Amino acid sequence: MPFRASPNPAINCRAVTFGAARMLLHGSCAALEGEAILFLAPPGGGKSDLLLRLLGRGWVLVADDQVMLEADQGLLRASPPAALAGRLEVFGLGLLAGLAWRAATLRLVARLVPPAEIPRLPEPETWSALGIGLPALRLHGAAPSAPDLLRRALDALAGRASLTAGAFTA
């Protein structure tokens, strides 16, 4: 099946759709306590590097390089294609295999971009796939604070933390 453009042209990724309920796209994904974040960036954009840093902080690998999304009762479930399950490409080291992984429900999409493309107080953004919208944010994946920012973002989305301005406020 041929690739088609991402459902959001502002995100540089490629996707292939399998009917109305499943799609495979170029990206990476990690989960913390069952809540997953999808990382989108062009090849070499830092997705796998960010995953490696998150795994060292208690996150669980969902998928690296390719992510299968499945619509289920208004939610998006993320998992790896079978051939890539438990694998993570580490630049300068190689392809790690046999890592623990699990499918998870997506809660957030993080677009990995240069710092100049990130507003100080961002307006809410969304990303949609398979007819389901998710909150999205722009992130400098190489920033030392990126893992902590992602944890705080999940906390804010789940109501465990409060934002008075920014990405998830109306």
Domain range list for the chain? 4-157
Task: Assess contact for 170 and 124: CB atoms under 8 A.
Answer: yes
pLDDT(24) > 90: yes
Model pLDDT, residue 48: 94
Structural tokens at position 148 = 């902590």
pLDDT average, residue stretch 85-104: 94
Q: What pLDDT is attached to residue 164?
A: 84
- Please tell me the predicted confidence (pLDDT) of residue 6: 39
Tokens of 128: 């949609």
Residue 115: is its pLDDT beyond 70? yes
pLDDT class for 5, splitting at 50, 70, 90?
Answer: very low
Topology, domain 4-157: Rossmann fold (3.40.50)
**Taking residues 128-132, what's their average pLDDT?**
95
More confident: 64 or 5: 64
pLDDT at position 16 is 76
**What residues contact 137, with CB distance under 8 A and at least 6 apart?**
108, 109, 110, 111, 122, 125, 153, 167
| pLDDT at residue number 13 | 55
> What percent of the chain lies above the pLDDT cut of 70?
89
Give the pLDDT of residue 3. 31
- Alpha-carbon span 15 to 2, nearest angstrom: 9
Letter string b/e over residues 93-114, b meaning 16 or more CB atoms within 10 A of that residue's CB: eeebeeeebebbebbbbbbbbe
